[in-house]
Amino acid sequence: MANKILMPKLSPTMEEGQISRWLKKEGDSIEANETIAEVDTDKATMEMTSLEAGTLLKIVVPAGGNARLGQTIGVIGKPGEEFSSLLADEAVTEKKTKEVPEQKKEEPKLYVPPVAAPAQRTVAPTATPAPTKAPSNGRLIVSPIAARMAAEHRIDINSIAGSGPGGRIIKRDIESAMNGGGSKSALFSYTPSTVYGASAYREEATTKMRQVIASRLSESIGPIPTFYLTTAIEMDNVLDLRAKINSELKDGEKISVNDIIVKVVSHALMRHPFVNASYRDTAIRFYEDADIGVAVAVEDGLITPVIRSANKKGFVDISREIKSLASKARERKLQPEEYTGATFSISNLGMFGITEFTAIINPPEAAILAVGSSTPTPVVKDGVMTVRNIMKVTLSCDHRVIDGATGAKFLQTFKNMMEQPVLMFM
């Protein structure tokens, strides 16, 4: 028995389609699931396949024609089979539809994106009907897919005569222009290129550590009103201090610039208690000592071992403790009390060549210091150009605890102590 070929829904937002071209002609045999036509939707040119095997008895909507979802576009059946009754039913339905009065709607404005993704494929047209003269009112009629293709390939759409109904510019007209039948913008040229599909991917289950990191940082960046303060610090005196200390150490032991930063931060925190505090809804908790978290990169993410009472320890003690805790962190041997309960954190990416960045506060702490690399930089000193080692740091502040001036004063104290380490002991 003959059956209708209906316009299928080929994209989630499709309401109608335009037959770009039929791949079969009347009288051709068709296999089930064989592609029989190409349809321009609102998103792309899609292949339409037959749901059954048979013979294409009739093409109802020709190439270039539009059809609503579910509208008959062809007839399939046995060779020589009678199908006029099917089309008679279609004509009655179409008449009833036209008799329903419709309110006049404003014609939607066509949106042509300035840049779009490359076309999935380029199809050479089997035949191009003679162009139809465009409407005399000067308004171009362009199918959505044709407009998108013209934008993608920098085709001057005003130079193209449409071959669709009423002079409508359709996909095959753009394809013809791409093959030399129309003019392109003088600023661009179309060069066929390799077309790639979506990237392959793999998934790995998140570790418990990564889940905790995600949970904790999600608590921070959303509900915490955060602001950022950045300053530049001359590091020459710190580098000299480090060299002098290391020259006195034995057995190859060395302290790092980061060890000195931890010590200086601890002293600055003692002078600015609001930075060494946390917000507790109905109270602000002030800490008597500086328990400083030092961010350490490990295989599964990031963990922050805590240097307890850093304000009461010397450079060498801090250095040894950081090395010990970092080693335990990488071996996954840290105990909870060794990585929880910090009052302030430091994240140093200077060793990776990062000059400046912002870090996310680790709740319930009120601040974190992001440390960049120390880089030789030309500066003006007393009207003379000279080179100094400059390091940029950025303080992320919880505004519920730290006001702008408070954060600025903390950074000022930290900067002064870094540039003149003797101030730590005054």
Distance CA(361)–CA(226), nearest Å, equals 8
Characterize the bridge pairing of strands 3-6 and 35-40. Answer: unpaired
- Round to the nearest angstrom and report the end-to-end CA distance of the chain: 101
SS3 of the chain: helix, strand, coil, percent, to 5: 30, 25, 45
Q: At CB < 8 A and 24+ separation, what contacts does 48-53 make? A: 48/8, 48/10, 50/5, 50/76, 52/3, 52/76, 53/29
Tokens of 144: 């959505």
Contact 111, 139 (CB under 8 A): no
Q: Look at residue 246 and give its three-state secondary structure.
A: helix
Q: What are the E-state strand segments in 190-329?
A: 226-234, 277-279, 284-286, 292-294, 296-298, 301-303, 306-307
Burial pattern 65-93, b for ≥16 Cβ within 10 A else e, equals bbbeeebbbbbbbeeeeebeebeeeeeee
Distance CA(345)–CA(214), nearest Å, equals 17
- SS3 of 128-197: the string is CCCCCCCCCCCCCCECHHHHHHHHHCCECHHHCCCCCHHHCECHHHHHHHHHHHCCECCCCCCCCCCCCC
Return the active site residues. 399
Distance CA(129)–CA(196), nearest Å, equals 32
